[in-house]
């Protein structure tokens, strides 16, 4: 069949806009704040075999498992897939990335032929298991974390299977989960209609052949990108601290990256074995992390489809911390993305020094829950306010301030302060850039943030999960490291408790102050090469102290006028050289 190259562009644009429409449905209709406020969800379209056509990736870490699960579903149901079916899935042992990230798949038919799939996946507020919300540091097996949902039809040929629906939601704590899953189904219906219209217009043959051409052309684009990386074998490693069970525990992620002309392989065979607790990755959460980190080093305009992943090979042996064996607990797996990214960045910094960033701030998040006497109702708040640290700097560009973990790369927003006070009984006292938190460099890291609020309400429980409180984000090429994460409870009686990175604190009294520091990102290049005028401006703006300006950058600044003392500065900078 003759390919109309223009039509290929039309299809690509159309796939993208359909997934965007699917995303808007979720943003506007879901009720759990992690979905509608923080946009912790993704939508996508896949071909009849489950190959990615296009995605809208608000939170990239979720997105690259949708395709593999779709392929699994196609194999699993075989010829028992019908128009009007709706399939749920969250099982991490059949390619799911995290128990809480529950996916909905809807097959798309054209004249009795399965031609594509629409899918949406969102972080659900509860998935059953021993602890509300799913984060259970004490879990050692998957059943303590979640209700496992291997692919199951909740609608068959357009008819709701009430028994299946009831079975699932009988095992889930909050009503809003059922409502939010309905929204996800709605999103898939929007995707289904969009694809059907397209095929009706152009015919199936044209659709199929042009889709393949699109895959090939994107593959070509990715191959061209890989070709710009010098051939070689590059190694990098990073550490994962504290598995939630044994204080002081530490694990290594080791990656060997082989670049051979137009292909790249990420091999994690030397990575440490899995933990006994829930600090374990699944294959797709780890492979997603690999992909999203690598995508930041290539042309950001690349269409996202199956062609993009063809020249990329990812090897993660089962039994490692990045791909735990059944029936391990794995809820923390998405949060292994930051250390995974660190290992990749370190390895590739030798190959493409100008395209990598220094280390990013890693996620450390709090969750408060309890009773709000103002509303006479319980509340849960996932602390998006406070968790966003800085990104690492890169050649020519400073890091991004207050962006948050690399798994989201600025796709997750913090709560509006006034809405926060309407919806929780807390009083926000402080939420500002954290001065001197960024790693210094010719290009500095992004700034971290300090947050302080007074806990109101009763029966307060504080849960923490994350990392970054033991090893600070690294600098590159003489750039400096940044600062650590910290969460601290300052009790009304004056006692102070610093939480661990995976903690659960109960009976926190009213009036306690939760203080959080989200660290900055690492610096890039020698800080002595940073323009003194720029340092002076930052001192004037109060994000670098006069002391640090001198210590890190060798820039002396007059505390009255904020002008650079050129003589003194030159003297220091010369001496140190």
Residues 236-295 that bind other proteins (CB under 8 A): 292, 295
Partners of residue 209 on adjacent β-strands: none
Radius of gyration of the chain (CA): 25
Distance from C-alpha of 311 to C-alpha of 143, rounded to nearest angstrom: 36
Tokens 């020698």 locate to 526
Sheet holding 232-241, edge to edge: 232-241, 250-260, 263-267, 312-315
**Interface mask toward other proteins for 40-69; x: CB under 8 A:** -----------------x--x---------
What is the footprint of other proteins within residues 128-147 (CB under 8 A)? none
**Residue 6 binds to other proteins (criterion: CB under 8 A):** yes
- Residues between 312 and 371 with contacts to other proteins, criterion CB under 8 A: 357
Rule CB under 8 A: which of 440-459 touch other proteins? 449, 452
- Count the neighbouring beta carbons within 10 Å of the beta carbon of residue 504: 18
Closest of 196, 206, 193, 219 to residue 52, by C-alpha: 219
Cα 463 to Cα 449: distance, rounded to the nearest angstrom = 20
Return the number of the residue (63 or 285) whose C-beta is nearest other proteins: 63
Are 408 and 59 within 8 A, CB to CB? Answer: yes
Among the listed ranges 15-23, 74-82, 164-172, 459-467, the one in contact with other proteins (CB under 8 A) is 15-23
Site for other proteins in 76-115 (CB under 8 A): none
- Smallest distance from the beta carbon of 162 to other proteins, in angstroms? 16
Of the residues 79, 80, 301, 560, which one makes contact with other proteins according to CB under 8 A: 301
Binding mask 171-190 for other proteins (x = CB under 8 A): -----x--x--xx--x--x-
> Which of 125, 329 has the CB closer to other proteins?
125
* Part of the chain binding other proteins (CB under 8 A), chosen from 21-29, 238-246, 249-257, 460-468: 21-29
Applying CB under 8 A, does 560 fall inside the site for other proteins?
Answer: no
Instruction: Tell me the window of 20-28, 80-88, 253-261, 470-478 that interacts with other proteins (CB under 8 A).
Output: 20-28
Choose between 218 and 501: whose C-beta lies nearer to other proteins: 218
- Half-sphere exposure (Cβ direction) of 482: Cα atoms closer than 13 Å: 39
Closest to other proteins by CB, 36 or 127: 36
**CA of 257: how far to CAs of 130, 234, 269, 313, 407, in Å?**
39, 5, 11, 10, 20
Binder among 427, 488, 490, 546 for other proteins (CB under 8 A): 427
CB atoms within 10 A of CB 32: 23
28 lines the binding site for other proteins (CB under 8 A): yes
Q: Binders of other proteins among 484-543, rule CB under 8 A?
A: 540-543
- The gap from C-alpha 454 to its chain's centroid, in whole angstroms, comes to 28
Q: Tell the smallest beta-carbon distance from residue 188 to other proteins (Å).
A: 11
Q: Is 546 in the site for other proteins (CB under 8 A)?
A: no
**Residues contacting 476, CB < 8 A, separation 6+:** 349, 353, 356, 357, 358, 359, 392, 393, 441, 522, 523, 524, 525
Contacting residue, 416, 506, 507, 547, with other proteins by CB under 8 A:
416
In the bound state with other proteins, the residue whose beta carbon lies nearer, of 76 and 202, is 202
DSSP-derived pairing of the beta strands 113-123 and 232-241: unpaired
Query: Min. distance of Cβ 98 from other proteins in angstroms?
Result: 19
Out of 40, 101, 225, 243, point to the residue binding other proteins (CB under 8 A).
225
- DSSP at 385: S
Q: For the packed helices 204-227 and 5-29, what is the interaxial angle rounded to 10 degrees?
A: 90
Question: How many CB atoms sit inside 10 A of residue 301's CB?
Answer: 6
> Do 77 and 57 form a contact (C-beta atoms < 8 A)?
no
Q: How far apart are CA 528 and CA 570, in angstroms?
A: 10
Q: How far is the CB of 357 from other proteins (least distance, A)?
A: 5
Q: Can residue 417 be called a binding residue for other proteins (CB under 8 A)?
A: yes
The smaller minimum CB distance to other proteins, of residues 131 and 295, is found at 295
Which one, 219 or 267, has the nearer CB to other proteins? 219
Contact indicator for 89, 151 with CB cutoff of 8 Å: yes
Residue selected from 300, 495, 567, 575 as contacting other proteins according to rule CB under 8 A = 300
Alpha-carbon span 70 to 57, nearest angstrom: 16
Angle (CA) 41 294 34, round 5°: 15
Which is nearer to other proteins, 271 or 460 (by Cβ)? 460
Q: How far is the CB of 473 from other proteins (least distance, A)?
A: 14
Site for other proteins in 386-415 (CB under 8 A): 388, 391, 394, 396-398, 400-404, 408-414
CB of 515 to other proteins, least distance (A): 12
Q: 257 with 278: CB under 8 angstroms?
A: no
- Closest distance to other proteins from the beta carbon of 313 (Å): 20
Say how many residues make up the chain: 577
Which residue number, 72 or 384, has a Cβ lying nearer to other proteins?
A: 384
Q: Which of 421, 470, 488, 565 binds other proteins (CB under 8 A)?
A: 421
Can you tell me which of 160, 419, 496, 566 binds other proteins, judged by CB under 8 A?
419
Write down the least CB distance from residue 80 to other proteins, Å: 28
Tokens 């409870």 belong to residue: 489
**Which tokens sit at 506?**
């109960």
Give burial (CB, 10 Å; 0-12/13-18/19+) of 363: buried
State the number of binding residues for other proteins (CB under 8 A): 82
| Phi, psi at 402, each rounded to 5° | 50, 55
Nearest distance, CB of residue 27 and other proteins, angstroms? 8
Nearer to other proteins, 47 or 401 (CB): 401
Classified as helix, coil or strand, 479 is: coil
């Amino acid at each position: 069949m003759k390919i109309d190259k223009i039509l290929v562009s039309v299809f690509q644009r159309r796939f993208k806009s359909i997934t965007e429409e699917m995303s808007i449905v979720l943003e506007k209709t879901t009720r759990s704040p992690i979905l509608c406020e923080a946009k912790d969800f993704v939508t996508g379209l896949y071909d009849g075999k489950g190959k990615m056509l296009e995605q809208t990736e608000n939170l990239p870490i979720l997105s690259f498992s949708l395709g593999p699960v779709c392929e699994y579903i196609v194999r699993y149901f075989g010829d028992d897939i019908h128009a009007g079916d709706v399939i749920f899935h969250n099982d991490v042992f059949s390619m799911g990335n995290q128990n809480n990230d529950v996916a909905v798949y809807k097959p798309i038919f054209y004249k009795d032929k399965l031609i594509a799939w629409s899918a949406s996946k969102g972080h659900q507020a509860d998935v059953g298991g021993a602890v509300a919300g799913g984060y259970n540091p004490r879990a050692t097996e998957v059943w303590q974390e979640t209700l496992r949902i291997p692919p199951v039809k909740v609608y068959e040929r357009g008819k709701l299977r009430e028994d299946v629906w009831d079975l699932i939601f009988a095992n889930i704590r909050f009503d809003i989960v059922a409502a939010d899953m309905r929204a996800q189904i709605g999103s898939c219906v929007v995707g289904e209609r969009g694809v059907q219209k397209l095929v009706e217009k152009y015919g199936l043959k044209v659709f199929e052949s042009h889709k393949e051409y699109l895959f090939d052309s994107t593959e070509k684009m990715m191959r061209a990108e890989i070709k710009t990386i010098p051939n070689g074998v590059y190694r990098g490693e990073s550490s994962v601290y504290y598995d939630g069970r044994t204080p002081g525990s530490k694990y290594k992620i080791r990656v060997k990256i082989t670049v051979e002309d137009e292909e790249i392989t990420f091999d994690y065979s030397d990575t440490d074995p899995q933990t006994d607790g829930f600090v374990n990755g699944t294959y797709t959460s780890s492979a997603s992390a690999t992909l999203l980190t690598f995508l930041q080093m290539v042309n950001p305009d690349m269409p996202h489809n199956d062609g993009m992943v063809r020249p990329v090979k990812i090897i993660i042996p089962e039994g490692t911390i990045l791909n735990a064996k059944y029936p391990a607990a794995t809820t923390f797996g998405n949060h292994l993305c930051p250390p995974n990214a660190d290992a990749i960045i370190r390895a590739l910094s030798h190959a493409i020094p100008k395209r990598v960033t220094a280390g990013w701030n890693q996620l450390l998040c709090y969750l408060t829950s309890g009773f709000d006497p103002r509303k006479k109702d319980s509340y849960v708040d996932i602390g998006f306010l406070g968790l966003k640290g800085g990104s690492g700097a890169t050649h020519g560009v400073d890091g991004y301030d207050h962006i948050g973990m690399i798994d989201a790369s600025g796709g997750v927003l913090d709560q509006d302060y006034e809405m926060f006070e309407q919806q929780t009984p807390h009083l926000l006292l402080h939420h500002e850039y954290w001065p001197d938190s960024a790693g210094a460099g010719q290009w500095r890291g992004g700034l971290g943030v300090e947050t302080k609020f007074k806990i109101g309400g009763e029966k307060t429980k504080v849960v923490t999960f994350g990392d970054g409180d033991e090893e600070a984000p690294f600098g590159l090429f003489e750039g400096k490291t940044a600062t650590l994460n910290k969460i601290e409870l300052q009790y009304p009686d004056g006692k102070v408790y610093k939480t661990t990175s995976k903690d659960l604190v109960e009976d926190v009294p009213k009036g306690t102050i939760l203080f959080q520091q989200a660290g900055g990102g690492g610096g890039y290049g020698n800080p002595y090469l940073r323009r003194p005028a720029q340092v002076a401006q930052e001192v004037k703006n109060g994000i670098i102290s006069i002391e640090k300006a001198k210590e890190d950058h060798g820039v002396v600044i007059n505390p009255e006028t904020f002008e650079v003392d050129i003589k003194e500065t030159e003297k220091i900078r010369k001496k140190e050289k």
